[in-house]
Structure 1
């Protein structure tokens, strides 16, 4: 039985089917919606006392739902050990950024695309979308069970789930969407790992992604640099270079540029960030601007190269005394900053790690647990900020829901 990818085109099941969705974040809510739309009886279990907490936290920044770039490029933003890029392309074809915006419009949420390509609700809030989605789920008959944490998946007829209340429940299929390990206060704390490892399902260790990185700043430097941006820079880690902005903090760096370099930095034995403070100004142009300077090179560069006080302080700390034009050029074009490591995963926007790709088939079903599907950040993939994270959760949830319906129809 096929379940077409366009929103609102699902056929109904020809028999009674009961599906569990575990997790009330973006992926879980989307999966519950599609399963109910397909004709299944749906019970949604959430470990916290309310659903959608991660959506609400994401809404603090305006709820970046997706991105407007072409799907061909969009699909390349996803990475992870053994991840086949064609998989995400397939899922994005099933539930594309355009379909996500259409879906939001059906809920009465108008979206707009910024000049950067990022797509937001016009209201720049998550609460209206969450409220209307929950209303739709209730109208569809989805039954919500809060304060219910999955503790075990048991062998038996169908899919047997046990929660912290101790009562086993049986379903035709289950979709697990319990999140990764970032923002644990929202419920995505990785507490589901033992339930899967009991069935020898491999789960790769969670690591912080889209997070700040620590550098060894002396106390004397912090007052000058804390909270100051490095705008229009190029940052490099390994063989990867990105353009963007960095924010100097008391502990190191935050910002989109370093978030994008997380995989490369984590893979390095001794992580180092190489910053080009003036990527649009060639080295020879800097030499020409500075050719008449004979001393106080860094001070002279403040006016000639428009270096901020924080930038000059950073250069002085990293590069030491600048005693020649060439030393200044090296510092401006290749400022090498050793890093100590990422910030704690509790502070990260997202996480890397999770259920290994070798454990799931192309329908997102666990090979060792037939009828059990996974979606969202439980799986070992990562993506930069910019709308890719929520889009990835919705796209994988769409595939998992379609597959759970088809599985239930055939068993």
Structure 2
């Protein structure tokens, strides 16, 4: 099931030629073959700067569909994925979102990686009354009846990273962040938690996603002499920072903690001499113990083979997004949008890779375990576990039970 680069290019060309028809149909239980399929739209970057993250997210979605279909599908019908490669392009995100809603008439959409991509397509799904699952760790604050978010927010991750750094490394930090809403808002959360812990942010620098040269920034950090660096850098181009940081001899002098590092196969694509010692926090790592975690990792490896990249929260959240939707459909007894929303708002709980996970009715975000880990010899060594972590940042501004017509992203005040 694994794809070589040449095979993947052929796959993408085929997708373009077919104009976005159902490009990936998972195995379907034999007794459900004759039933009309339930279409699930998938919008993920399979190429472009975020392709390294999007490829395993798609694979996790395909695996979830296979698990559902192997169990007989939903409501006696198979699940069929309708997949588009958004190529890290906002224009393609909006184009394909409209196609999924109007032409393909999917029951739900699973997808989006960056917050910018989510905010490009979320209004489209609101307008055309299409249920949407955003399965990515992000900055928090989305409050919309038609969207469910399965990734972690800063209250579930950054709130653990910063105290760890302040306790173990010192009180002065330097923040380097991606120059779009995720990076800007996460940097604010990092600043908030640093100040609350008695620390000081010496400076914050922002970088567009196409920046690859960090030599000038590394010189600035050297001059500032922080105790540690906090990094919400995003995407394949920004991985250059970590290589350049190690090459400049800084890795052994100033430690780094990141809210994003590990979501793009970094521990397998870079040497331990670059990655060892980096701290992160997510809702799941491949080294998380438990039956759900092991079953997910083993199932993905069996389906896609030994070339599967190191999995991350993006992938476990993509799987859990499918499973939450499936449980909502089962409880509702229909794929009709409002009925599924009502079912999901009943507090549905699943046992997923991250452990026990519960959909919070008021925020449409997930209450689940969070983990803090350190990169050691190409693996994630779990340092601490935070059970049933709530999305407290979003909960401070969002209550969809009281305000069901809400459809915006709040910029949470972190001052």
Q: Settle same-fold status: TM greater than 0.5.
A: no
Rg comparison, structure with higher value = 1
Higher RCO structure, 1 or 2 (CA under 8 Å, sep 6+): 1
TM-score, normalised with respect to structure 1: 0.29
TM-score, normalised with respect to structure 2: 0.28
